[in-house]
Chains A and B, each alone.
Chain A
Amino acid sequence: MSRRWVPPYALNEPGRRVLLLGNQAIARGFLEGGGQVASSYPGTPASEILETIADFAEMYGIYAEWADNERVAFEVCSGASMCGLRTMCSMKHIGVNWAMDPLMHVVLRNPPGGFILVSGDDPSQHSSANEQDNRFLARAACIPCFEPSDPAEAKEMTVKLFEVSEAYRLPVMLRVTTRLCHVRGDVVLGPINMERRKGKMAEDISWRKIPRLTGLERIPPHKPLHDKEEKLREAAENLEWNRVEATGGERLGVISSGVSYNYAKEAISRLGLEGKVALLKLGITYPLPEKLISNFLSGLDRLLVVEELEPFVELQVKAISKEANPKVEIYGKFDPSRKLIPREFELNTFIVSNALAEFAGVPKPLLPRRGAELQEIGKMITPRGLTMCAGCPHRATGYALKQALRRLKIEDYTIIGDIGCYGMLSYPPLRMIDTYLGMGSSVGVSQGCARATGSMAIGIIGDSTFLHAGIPGLISAFWNNTKIKLVICDNMATAMTGFQPHPGTGVTAMRKQGNKVKIEDIVRGIGISCLEIIDPYNVSDSIEAFMRALEFDGPAVVISRRICATEAVRLARRQGVRLEPYAVDPERCTGCRTCINTFGCPALVYDPSKNKVWIDTTLCMGCGVCSQICPFQAIGKRG
């Protein structure tokens, strides 16, 4: 199929100015920097990096893949780097938790190929279950940490970081945040590096090629790593991405890094403090350029540190100030009496302006609207949370499970969710999840609950999440005969992060046919004997299957299989198939709202003036589940 439109990130037109998403700019940096292997697991806000690389991979002779989880992705990149190729491993912040194990080892191996680990941190947890500052993980692994401030700088850094990584034979972290990943900005395209190396395990690191040392003669493995860190600390002094801006009257100074630099810069100009407040922008936050910072501190009375999430730079600067200028007062997030910036949630110019105004002793910027009358308007704005889509198979799965529990009169139960759209089964009207932790946790946590309570414990997990992290937990449950019930919601996609394929789909990131992993084969292979496979759109059969699994004396699995509704709509549109929406017969509808109060599809809308329910045809995709739930058979196909 010929491409009609070449996306700007794939153009071979050096010098052209285009609009790129931060993640696309990083992918473009990979291309311009001669990257050859990219592996990742989807996770917001970092998913589009690998998606973009995969999109142009074939065009430019690159290999890009989704791995089964972040640890595997990181290991794939480690192998490529040790074989001399330039490689990038991108993931969301908590993905790095999974990659920490191989990371702590590969830093000791002197991998020769440029190796960039991209960590997408998510301040304000826009699409995460926690906030986490991965600069601490870079520090724990003794690898340098770079923070770009906008898409253009992200691309530039990526290109150069391959060289930095190769010079030190050490992976480097590119730490980005949501407001870099998901920001579009103007970027000038550079030339594409078409050097394609042939990989080979580097001779100077292969244990087959170097004499093996016995235990007693071993060089302390961390010594060379610590020496690299010292050299990086010196090299940080001359990095182009660190710069002192807005020097001036200088009793007051601001240090900022990453996207926070933009807020600091706007705040200084908005408050008219140019020439009164000096600004140091840092592009590297570990190890810090100590001399540059010492010089910056030397003339100051007071310093404000502006950074996303934890006071990472602030604490290091505090240590540097002990020698450089012990009298400087450091404001930021740490010291309770000098805390001007909240440690939680993402920053913006307004927050930073307020902090800077207090810091500099000038009037704070005011919000334009105040007063009681406007509070009334605030109250009339309907709250709107996240919700599962109309036709979502997870909603139908949750409904059937709840009905099965009710029919069996099981009232004492615990339900542990997992990371994915089905986590929203915790919202009204179903409200059926007690809690969840990270990826795969439904399987292990439910076992702890089963042991602790002695009563029914159920885990609900998605297909991609099960394959990522759920399998060892299920093995453990079978081995120990812990009688959990595991519901695997198989919607045939990694839906929440944007419909990436996974091993159960058999399609690869580069849209090639790979091999398909069958979840039921894994479950049976473990030895689980009670396995039910249902179509959640068939309500009565699903309820009965759940009842059998709940009554089984041992660990049981229900695979609820139905393609993601959003994906189904997209496929139908592509194939020119019309999905017939359902309609409510107003003659039969009694206004009882059973459909809304027990099921709650957003396409079902109640009209209080008529005491009837109607179906919003712009949302309904024709799953038909509500028609099976209505006690008065008032819902059917239109016409």
Chain B
Amino acid sequence: MKSMAQVKEFNLIIAGIGGQGNLLASEIIASAAVREGHRVRVGETFGAAQRGGPVASYIRIGSEVYSPIIDPGRADLIVGLEAVETLRNAFRFLRPGGAVVMNTRPIVPVEVSMGLQKYPSPQEIIEALRRIGAEKIIHFDATSEAERLGMALVMNMIMVGAAAGSGLLPISTEAIRQVITERLAGPLLELNLKAFELGLEKSRSQ
């Protein structure tokens, strides 16, 4: 764990498609960073409210951070909630030697089913991530894990857990756990905490 004085610039992207819970995932990680005394800037894609379009949250933590947007080639970690969205963001933003945490489950655009576009296989995506220069790649089907917990929607919290489990975030796992406990107080808290712990374990075991 890096201490707060050391962090000058840490860049994290949470990428996915609308409706996957990107915003909540980024709010939780960024709130945990503020709680630990960091300077934080988060650039969100709110875009249109409907589901299905690509979205990305840029989370920047550190004393030298001003811009809310991460520049090409400067992301330290990419957390991808969908397979091709992970690659899209890694291709443009991941720094050489950066890390990727990816949900391998694809959400296929209509144009692919119509035969107008191709969707790469998980193996092709992982291989491409390596060629881009990703040093550490943690990947699993987080949607299936969420379905096993009883709710596909908590996939985002599994991925927050997986991000924490990578050991790369400059914030403590406990701070994230506390933010989840406060922010999601209510009937779904237990399920979300379970999802977070599951992601943590999945990630640590890879």
Question: Which residues of A pack against B, CB within 8 Å?
Answer: 4-5, 17-19, 21, 44-45, 126-127, 150, 179, 182-186, 259, 261-263, 265-266, 269, 348-350, 353, 367-369, 373-374, 377-378, 380-390, 392, 421, 424, 428-429, 495-499, 566, 593, 596-597, 600-602, 604-606, 613, 616, 618-619
Contact = CB atoms under 8 A, between A and B. Distances in A.
B118 interface: yes
A606 B42 CA distance: 37
A17 B34 contact: yes
Most buried by A among B38, B72, B95, B186: B72
A434 B174 CA distance: 54
Contact of B185 (A5, A265, A496): A5
A424 B50 CA distance: 11
B52 to A, nearest CB: 4
Contact of B47 (A19, A126, A179, A377): A126
Given A348-B67, A385-B53, A387-B53, A618 B116 contact: no
B54 to A, nearest CB: 5
Contacts of B1: none
A21 B85 CA distance: 24
Q: Which of A150, A179, A597 has the most CB of B within 10 A?
A: A179
A386 B114 contact: no
Given A184-B40, A618-B143, A350 B71 contact: yes
19 contacts: A44-B47, A150-B41, A183-B43, A183-B44, A185-B42, A186-B34, A262-B66, A263-B66, A348-B71, A350-B72, A368-B73, A368-B133, A369-B96, A374-B131, A381-B88, A383-B117, A388-B52, A424-B50, A496-B49
B104 to A, nearest CB: 14
A383 B43 contact: no
A369 B118 CA distance: 24
Interface residues of B, number: 65
B42 A126 contact: no
Contacts of A18: 34
A127 B67 contact: no
A191 to B, nearest CB: 20
B183 to A, nearest CB: 6
B113 interface: yes
Contacts of B110: 387, 428-429, 596, 600-602, 604
B191 to A, nearest CB: 12
Contact of A266 (B67, B131, B143, B183): B67
B176 to A, nearest CB: 13
Contact of A381 (B45, B53, B87): B87
A367 B120 contact: no
A139 B189 CA distance: 50
Contacts of B131: 373-374, 377
Nearest to B179: A19
Contacts of B31: 19
Contacts of A185: 40-42, 68
Interface string B96-119: 100000000001111111111111
A380 B48 contact: no
Across the A-B interface, give the 4 residue pairs with the lowest CB-CB distance, nearest first.
A368-B73, A262-B66, A184-B42, A606-B113
Given A266-B67, A566-B49, 18 more contacts: A150-B41, A183-B68, A184-B27, A185-B41, A185-B42, A259-B68, A262-B67, A353-B71, A382-B119, A383-B117, A384-B84, A388-B50, A389-B50, A390-B51, A596-B114, A600-B110, A613-B113, A616-B107
Contacts of B114: 428-429, 593, 596-597, 600, 606
A19 B27 contact: yes
A386 B91 contact: no
A127 B47 contact: yes
Contacts of A348: 67, 69, 71
Contacts of A593: 113-115
Contacts of A19: 27, 30-31, 34, 40, 42
Contacts of B183: 5
Contacts of B118: 380, 382
B68 A179 contact: yes
Contact of B44 (A184, A368, A381): A184
A533 to B, nearest CB: 24
Q: Which of B34, B73, B91 has the most CB of A within 10 A?
A: B34
A383 B53 CA distance: 10
B50 A392 contact: yes
Contact of B108 (A369, A566, A605): A605
B111 A428 contact: yes
Contact of B128 (A4, A380, A566): A380
Nearest to B20: A618
Given A348-B69, A373-B131, A381-B84, A618 B109 contact: no
Contacts of B73: 367-369
A498 B179 CA distance: 24
Interface in B138-153: 143, 147, 152
Contacts of B95: 368
Contacts of B113: 593, 596, 600, 604-606, 613
B10 to A, nearest CB: 14
Which of B47, B107, B109, B113: most chain A Cβ within 10 A? B113
Interface in B1-56: 17, 19, 26-27, 30-31, 34, 38-54
B49 A619 contact: no
A402 to B, nearest CB: 16
B48 A496 contact: yes
A391 to B, nearest CB: 10
B119 to A, nearest CB: 5
Given A186-B34, A369-B73, A387-B110, A495 B42 contact: no
Contact of B182 (A5, A182, A387, A496): A5
B93 to A, nearest CB: 10
A574 to B, nearest CB: 10
Interface centre among A127, A261, A377, by most chain B C-beta atoms within 10 angstroms, is: A377
